[in-house]
Amino acid sequence: MAELLNPLKKWRLSHPNSFAGHCGAVEAVSFVVLGSIGWLDYITGYELGFFIFYFIPVGISSWYCGRRLGLQVAFGSAIVWYLSDKYTHHPYSHSYFIYWEMFMRLLSFLTTTITISRIRDMVLNEERILSELLEARQELERVKSEHTLQADAGYGEAAVGAGSVDNPVSLDNITVALDQHV
């Protein structure tokens, strides 16, 4: 049923499941990009900040593969930033400031990972719920059409029981309620 929702979903690169089953490739690309960013950060020196670019592999890995890989890349980003900053001989007034800077960057990467992976989970859950609602609607339509056929064929009280005084819930009311939510 999920394929019926959007048959082109697998071709949309922005969808969280675009690379489902290929997390190894996403992981490899994320760490290659992370290494490249770290190398550029190192060769340009400590005066030119590359901090914002470290979010690219963190975001990509979190969106396409979820929290586990996102956390790995977040920790990797903090370590790569630390090594780049340490080996460019960034002068700090106290030696512990580099650790504070790394900790602050790590918190930023972790926050980004948790936020993006949570949004990813919400998108996937919403698609699952919509799929279930559409399946339920199709089932209601099928039951309604069978009910109508039985009523038209004259099968008596059993066929027209829904919506009667004894049974105030009717398929029409349920279908209208579904139409309002979908």
Give the pLDDT band (50/70/90) at residue 144: confident
Looking at residue 64, its pLDDT comes to 94
162 is in which domain, residue-wise? 132-181
Rounded to the nearest integer, the mean pLDDT of the chain is 84
Residues 25, 104, single domain; the answer is yes
Looking at residue 37, its pLDDT comes to 97
Residues 69, 102, single domain; the answer is yes
Considering 126, 146, 169, which residue would you say is the last residue of a domain? Answer: 126
Residues 68, 122, single domain; the answer is yes
| Helical pair 97-153 and 67-87, crossing angle rounded to 10 deg | 160
Looking at residue 159, its pLDDT comes to 46
How much is the pTM?
Answer: 0.72
Classify residue 93 by burial, with Cβ atoms within 10 Å: 0-12, 13-18, 19+: exposed
Average pLDDT for 144-157: 72
Residues 69, 142, single domain; the answer is no
Report the domain count for the chain: 2
Give the pLDDT band (50/70/90) at residue 20: confident
Higher pLDDT, 72 or 158: 72
Report the alpha-carbon distance of residue 128 to residue 171 in Å, rounded.
Answer: 23
Residues 119, 139, single domain; the answer is no
Residue type, 125: N
Average pLDDT for 63-83: 96
Contact yes or no for 37/56 (Cβ under 8 A): yes
Residue type, 148: T
